[in-house]
Amino acid sequence: MLLIKGFPRFRTMFNPNSLRIRLTLGIAAVSILGLTGVVTSISLTMQKILVVTHKNNTRYIAGRFPHDVEIYSDMVSLEEGTQKAIDNLSTPQTLLWVKSPQGNLLAQSPVLKMGIKGTHLVSLQDIPLQPELKLLNNRYWLLCSTDLVVRGVNLGRVYIAQDITADETMFLTLMGTLILVSAIVTVCMTVAIAWYIKTSLKPLKRMSETTKDISAEKLGEVQIELENAPSEVKELAQTLQTTLTRLSDSWEDQRQLVSNVSHELRTPLTVVSGYLQSTLRRGNNLTDIQREALETASSEADRTIQLLQDLLDLARAENGRIYFHLETVVLNELLSEIKGMVAQYPVSIELALPTDSVTVKGDKNRLKQVLLNLIDNGVKYSKSDEPIVIKLEQDERFAKVQVCDQGVGIPLKDQTRIFERFYRVDEARSRNIGGTGLGLSIVKTLVEGMGGTIQVISQLNQGTTFNILLPLS
Ligand code: ADP
């Protein structure tokens, strides 16, 4: 697990939740089970056939032996007849010996007599009536015994031992080969199945890669093309394509609506704000309560006009209708100009500029809008005795403008979201301060529209720094 944690690529490849891994493991498991079942049943059947054949042979010898003794003993003595019958039925693999009812050895196969093999068998006590397979001294023996009754006289017991080691070893070697071949077949099958499943799932992966990074603005431009994909996947792609087109249409309608409404409301509200301000300016006979009410109405009207302007800017940016008048801008001069513009702010603004001029390709007015917005936020979220520092640096390719405050800071979990529209960290706190939650999303849109990037670094109750990188001219 530790090993897997350390290798993200390995984790992605062998993610147990992926369909590819699940299908591969599932089919491989079924194949292994199937092959194991076949191998086990083959081995059991072969083992049975092998042992049964030898058992039948042993039984046959046991049944025939008393009869042979009887025939031989017609010609020679009973002892000699017994020995002759043993000699006749013995082979290097088949051993026989006869014991008297008292347990004395009466006759035995020449191999036993010469002590070549199987001598330890003669002393065995509990040899059964029915042939039984035993592993003794690393050899497989089929052992059985039966009473030796000749012409109604019980001469004792005849013991038969069949050495089936050669057959058993051949069988085990065969089984070993079969298991090895099955294992190799399973591995090859699993690799082939994994490859086949990977190939079959490729269209799905292509589909997810095509749709992964679509932004809301590009919904309508996406074309999911899947050549040679299975019909089910093509159907899914078609459905997704239709959904994306519908989403894109409704997104476009929504943007159009926001843009139209903002535009339509801004004009009458600007007129209302103008009337309110002129009434406030000229109304010498207004009571304090009337003045206060008019001031509140005027400031709310201004706030709403700002909100509508922000919405309009965003809608234009998203429609691709925001135009940048790109020119060479000397940032040192622009920042000094901005410092002059915010001189009336309650917080002091400090500039840290390099001696060399830093020039970028950008839209001067949009850059002003961006920086004023960030300074505005710095002022809103800091105390008046905490200055806002604006630093300017440059490296080989980018100019870096930093707007640093020592204010309340932004919690880590909110830092990735503050550039979203209408996102405000602490709604209650932000409401008192004012603002719409649109400022940073406009800032981001404008900076990116000029080919730059913006980042935030912040620590709670320590302060916030916004870093803007702009391409040098
Ligand atoms: P708002 O109009 O609410 O300021 P913005 O988009 O400008 O909207 O900012 C989004 C949120 O990010 C704000 O509500 C505020 O909580 C947080 N924020 C932005 N700038 C700062 C800052 N300099 N210090 C602390 N919080 C900030």
State how far Cα 108 lies from the chain centre: 73
Residues 39 and 149 in one domain: yes
Q: Are residues 173 and 190 in the same domain?
A: yes
Give the pairing of strands 463-471 and 398-405: antiparallel
pLDDT of residue 309: 86
Q: How confident is the model at residue 388 (pLDDT cuts 50, 70, 90)?
A: very high
| Residues spanned by the domain of 423 | 327-471
Q: How does residue 315 score in pLDDT terms, banded at 50, 70 and 90?
A: confident
Please tell me whether residues 287 and 404 are part of one structural domain: no
Taking the CA of residue 405 as reference, the ligand 1 atom at the shortest distance is: 23
The whole-number average pLDDT for the span 174-179 is 89
- The answer to whether position 226 is within a domain reads no
- CA of 399 from ligand 1 middle (Å) equals 24
For residue 55, what pLDDT band results from cuts at 50, 70 and 90? very high
Residue 131 has pLDDT above 80, yes or no: yes
Q: What is the CATH number of the domain that holds 54?
A: 3.30.450.20
Q: Of ligand 1's atoms, which has the minimum distance to the CA of residue 408?
A: 25
Burial category of 33 from C-beta neighbours within 10 Å (exposed 0-12, middle 13-18, buried 19 and up): exposed
Same-domain check for residues 397 and 430: yes
- Residue 312 Cα to ligand 1 middle (Å): 20
Nearest CA to ligand 1 atom 16: 425
Specify the range with the lowest mean pLDDT, choosing from 7-11, 66-70, 258-262, 443-447: 7-11
Same domain? For 29 and 174 the reply is: yes
- Mean pLDDT of the chain, nearest integer: 88
Residue 437 within any structural domain of the chain: yes
Between these two residues, 123 and 226, which has the higher pLDDT value?
Answer: 123
Same domain for 365 and 266, yes or no, is no
Highest mean pLDDT among 10-24, 253-267, 328-342: 328-342
Shared-domain flag, residues 235 and 279: yes
Per cent of the chain over pLDDT 70 is 94
Q: Nearest C-alpha to atom 7 of ligand 1 is from which residue?
A: 439
Amino acid present at 214 = I
Say if 208 falls within a structural domain: no
Mapping DSSP onto H, E and C, the string for the chain reads CHHHHHCHHHHHHCCCCCHHHHHHHHHHHHHHHHHHHHHHHHHHHHHHHHHHHHHHHHHHHHHHHHHHHHHHHHHCCHHHHHHHHHHHHCCCCEEEEEECCCCCEEEECHHHHCCCCCHHHHCCCCCCCCCEEEEECCEEEEEEEEEEEECCEEEEEEEEEEECHHHHHHHHHHHHHHHHHHHHHHHHHHHHHHHHHHHHHHHHHHHHHHHHCCCHHHHHHCCCCCCCCCHHHHHHHHHHHHHHHHHHHHHHHHHHHHHHHHHHHHHHHHHHHHHHHHHHHHCCCCCHHHHHHHHHHHHHHHHHHHHHHHHHHHHHHHHCCCCCCCEEEEHHHHHHHHHHHCCCCCCCEEEECCCCCCEEEECHHHHHHHHHHHHHHHHHCCCCCCCEEEEEEECCCEEEEEEEECCCCCCHHHHCCCCCCCCCCCHHHHHHHCCCCCHHHHHHHHHHHCCCEEEEEEECCCEEEEEEEEEEC
Side-chain half-sphere exposure of 172, counting CA atoms within 13 A: 6
| Same-domain status, 125 and 85 | yes
Ligand 1, pocket-test mutation among 374, 418, 433, 460, most atoms within 8 A of CB: 418
Same domain, 346 and 410: yes
Per-residue pLDDT band for 3 (boundaries 50, 70, 90) equals very low
Distance CA 301, CA 266 (A): 10
Residue entry with tokens 């849109």: 445
Give me ligand 1 centre to Cα 343, in Å: 21
Pocket of ligand 1 (CB under 6 A): 377-378, 381, 405, 407-410, 418, 423-425, 430, 435-441, 464
User: Which of 161, 184, 200 is where one domain is finished?
Assistant: 200
pLDDT of 416 > 70? The answer is yes
Other Cβ atoms within 10 Å of 98 Cβ, number: 23
pLDDT of residue 292: 92
Smallest Cα–Cα separation from 163: which of 193, 134, 190? Answer: 134
Q: Hey, CA dihedral for 364, 367, 372, 373, is it positive or negative?
A: positive
Query: Does residue 303 lie in a domain region?
Result: yes
CA–CA gap between residue 223 and residue 202 (Å, rounded): 17
What contacts 163, CB < 8 A, 6 or more positions away?
92, 93, 94, 95, 117, 118, 139, 140, 141
Mutate to test the pocket of ligand 1, among 311, 414, 420, 425 (most ligand atoms within 8 A of CB): 425
Q: How far apart are CA 379 and CA 346, in angstroms?
A: 8
- Whether 91 maps to a domain, the answer reads yes
What letter represents residue 325's amino acid?
H
Which is higher by pLDDT, 409 or 207?
A: 409
pLDDT digits over 136-145, tens only? 988 999 999 9
Is there a domain that residue 9 lies in?
Answer: no
Residue 329 has pLDDT above 60, yes or no: yes
Total count of domains within the chain: 3
CA of 370 from ligand 1 middle (Å) equals: 13
Distance CA 429, CA 250 (A): 34
**What residue's CA is closest to ligand 1, atom 23?**
378
So what's the pLDDT on residue 125?
85
Same domain, yes or no: 306 and 368: no
Cα separation of 468 and 473, whole Å?
Answer: 15
Q: How far is the CA of 347 from the centre of ligand 1 (A)?
A: 17
Q: Which long-range contacts (CB under 8 A, 24 or more apart) does 455-459 make?
A: 456/410, 456/415, 456/418, 458/409, 458/410, 458/415, 459/409
Same domain, 129 and 250: no
Which residue is closest in CA terms to ligand 1's atom 12? 418
Q: What are phi and psi of 203, to 5 degrees?
A: -60, -35
Are residues 380 and 308 both part of a single domain? no
Last residue of a domain, one of 262, 285, 318: 318
Segment 280-307, tens digit of pLDDT: 999 888 899 999 999 999 988 998 898 8
Q: Check whether 240 has a pLDDT greater than 60.
A: yes
